[in-house]
Structure 1
Amino acid sequence: MIASLKGKIELLGADWAVVNVGGIGYKVFISTATISQIQSVSEVKLFTHLQVREDALTLFGFITIEELGIFETMLGVSGIGPRLALALLSSFKADELAAIIATGNDAMLCTVPGIGKKTASRIVLELKDKVAKSWAATPMTAGAVDADVLAALGALGYSPTEAAKAVVAIPKDPAMSLEEKIKLALAGLSQT
């Protein structure tokens, strides 16, 4: 198994990079977050997951071991393949995704293209306890309020991904009102 690669970046695509290691170029599929981090460097180290199928060997790469961990955890959910797990990591940072799952906020998972209500519910059901233990995330009781914040931001014209990222950045204070959460989310969106 190929556990990591360290080498020079030869090419970058929309969701992949070619990493030259000792004269051999490895095509590695990566998240958009990883692409943004490696665009300005010439050499990179990626932690990898090798998917072995009957007709292909596919490498998926991650800047941090935490990203790799949540990716491999996601693969344990029935119906979630590596491309969908990578799409989740393109929409959320590893710790944000862990917090979303641990808090049972399936509405935020539904903002990722390819994730419907049924799939989001399955992810939360199968991974909530596992992610909460391994990531030491504390469940938040305001999941319904966060869904209301998402809806409000959507009504104001923000994309589901922008809204989800803004909601994840809000401090997790159960005493905070809906209006305060919306104000904080809007403040976060205005800074980006």
Structure 2
Amino acid sequence: MIGRIRGVLLAKQPPSLLVDVNGIGYEIDAPMSTIYELPEIGREVVLITHYAVKEDAVALYGFHRESERSLFRTLLKVSGIGAKTALAILSGVSVDEFARFVTTGDISALTRIPGIGKKTAERIIVELRDRVDGLGGGLSSLPTSAGKAVAHDPVAEASAALSQFGYKPAEVQKLIKEAAEPGDTAEAIIRKALKAALR
């Protein structure tokens, strides 16, 4: 079981990261909420991790906050929710916002998250309503260095990330067109696109 990673950030192509730990490169998938806070390439990063073993693969997921990992693990217990959808949820809303949507039964807000239809939203509310208490609370993030890496092609990286989170090509094109401005990093474009999509 790998519960924490500390190493040098070698690459970030949302939602994937590559972190070097004593010469071993760990491929880690992370939500945008974590990617927004990453240090520059070449700097040290510390992530709380979730290690998943599937029939055909082993995967590692990274988070800055324990509350995010807790929500991720809770979402995986909901029937019909996989890791990809759980990452999309964490990329689109904060833990506190998600807890509020579930507590208030806000189906329309949940269905604006890619990969979540009405039936899945209803299932999330039914299965998690009594379990979201305590997920939020502003748990502090692990220490990390500030700073952002300059993307080689921010629009391409943002487009790829949005596709990974479940948006269809036409939706990606529309969101990117509305969000991208000259000089934006991939993270900035993705942040604005997700905000626009969830309005």
Shared fold by TM > 0.5?
Answer: yes
Structure 2: gaps (5+ residues): 138-177, 180-191
Q: Percent identity?
A: 40
AA aligned opposite 2:15: D
In structure 1, the partner of 2:55 is 54
AA aligned opposite 1:20: D
Task: Give how far 1:136 is off.
Answer: 7.4
AA aligned opposite 2:64: I
Structure 1: gaps (5+ residues): 138-156, 167-192
In structure 1, the partner of 2:87 is 86
The aligned runs of 1:2-151 (5 Å cut-off) are 2-40=2-40, 42-132=43-133, 134-135=134-135
The aligned runs of 1:167-182 (5 Å cut-off) are none
Q: Is the 8 A contact 2:67 2:135 kept in 1?
A: no
Task: Give how far 1:163 is off.
Answer: 5.8
Cα deviations by residue, 1:116-172 (Å, 9 ceiling, x for unpaired):
01101100110011113x3478xxxxxxxxxxxxxxxxxxx9999436866xxxxxx
Task: Give how far 1:96 is off.
Answer: 1.6
Give the RMSD, CA atoms, in angstroms: 2.4
2:5 & 2:13 partners in 1: Cα distance? 18
Q: Is the 8 A contact 1:9 1:17 kept in 2?
A: yes
Q: Is the 8 A contact 2:9 2:40 kept in 1?
A: no
Task: Give how far 1:107 is off.
Answer: 1.1
Higher Cα Rg, which structure: 1
Do the aligned partners of residues 160 and 29 (structure 1) sit closer, same or farther apart at CA in structure 2, a change above 3 Å counting? Answer: closer
Task: Give how far 1:62 is off.
Answer: 0.5
Task: Give how far 1:109 is off.
Answer: 0.8
Q: Is the 8 A contact 1:77 1:123 kept in 2?
A: yes
AA aligned opposite 1:30: A
Q: Is the 8 A contact 2:63 2:69 kept in 1?
A: yes
Q: Is the 8 A contact 1:108 1:164 kept in 2?
A: no
- Aligned pairs, how many? 146
Do the aligned partners of residues 165 and 40 (structure 1) sit closer, same or farther apart at CA in structure 2, a change above 3 Å counting? Answer: farther
Q: Is the 8 A contact 1:18 1:26 kept in 2?
A: yes
Q: Which moved more, 1:96-105 or 1:157-166?
A: 157-166
AA aligned opposite 2:2: I
Secondary structure of the 1:55 match is coil
